[in-house]
Homo-oligomer: A and B are copies of this chain.
Amino acid sequence: MRPNKRAELIRKSLDLFYRNGFHATGMDLVAAETGVSKTSIYKHFRSKEELILAVLQLRDEDFRGWLFQRLEELADTPRGQLEALFDALGEWFEQPGFQGCMFIKASAEYQAGEDPINMQSAGHKRLLQEHFAGLAAKAGAQEPAALARQLMILKEGAIVLAAMNHSPAPAGDGRQAALALIDLAIR
C-alpha cells in the first residue's frame, strides 16, 4: 500500500471513529467509507484495535502539533502561551465538527487500565501535561507540575462540557479560571 493511501485510510478512519464512536463503527463501514477493501485493511492491521491505535497515534501527533503551534502563534512568552491555552481551545470548540476529545472517548469505551487503547490515551494526556509543566517552569511558577495538573483539569473539564452541551462557552469560563490560577502560581 502506498504510504499516501495508508495515511488516507487512517485519517478517514479517524473521522469515522470520532463521529460515530469506536464500538459503534464497524469495519464494514470503514471499508466502505475509505474505499479500501476489508481484505486490504486486515493485511496492514492485524485487528480493529491495531487500526484504532494507529488512529490515536495520528490524532496525538496532529493535536499536539496544532495546539503547541497555535500557542506559539498567540504568544511568545511561556506565561503568555499558558494564558493563551483557552483561546486556542475556544477556537477548537467552535470548529464545525467538534465532538470532544478523542482520547477521553477512547478511554471511556476501553476503560480497562491495561488496555492498549487506554494506555495510549493516558500517554497523550501525559505528553500535554509535561509540555505545560515545561512552560510553567520557564514562566517561573513555584510549583510548575502542580500548575500543569490544574490546567489539565480545567482543559479536560472544559472539553467535556463543551462537547456535552454543544457549546463553546466553557472555553470562556475555563480561561477566566486559568488566568486566576496562573496569576496565583507565578509571582
Residues of A at the B interface (CB closer than 8 Å) are 21, 23-24, 99-100, 103-105, 107-109, 111, 113, 118, 121-122, 125, 146, 149-150, 152-158, 160-161, 163-166, 169-170, 173-174, 176-177, 180-181, 184
Interchain CB contact under 8 A, A118 and B157: no
Sample of 11 A–B contacts (CB below 8 Å): A21-B111, A24-B109, A103-B164, A105-B109, A107-B163, A108-B108, A150-B174, A153-B161, A153-B177, A154-B154, A180-B184
Question: Across the interface, do A154 and B177 meet the contact criterion of CB distance under 8 Å?
Answer: yes
Residues of B within 8 A of A157 (CB): 152-158, 160
Q: B160, A160: Cβ atoms under 8 Å?
A: yes
Q: B residues within 8 A CB of A150?
A: 173-174, 176-177
Chain B positions within 8 Å of A152 at CB level: 157, 161
* Complex CA distance for A49 and B166, rounded to whole angstroms: 21
Q: How far is the CB of A55 from chain B (nearest CB, A)?
A: 16
Q: What are the residues of chain B within 8 A of A99 when measuring CB–CB? A: 111
Measured between beta carbons, the chain B residues less than 8 angstroms from A125 are: 161, 164-165
Say yes or no: A108 contacts B118, CB within 8 Å: no
* Minimal Cβ-Cβ distance residue in B for A152: B161
A160/B156 in contact, CB under 8 A: yes
User: Contacts A24-B23, A157-B156, A160-B160 given: A166-B109 contact, CB under 8 Å?
Assistant: no
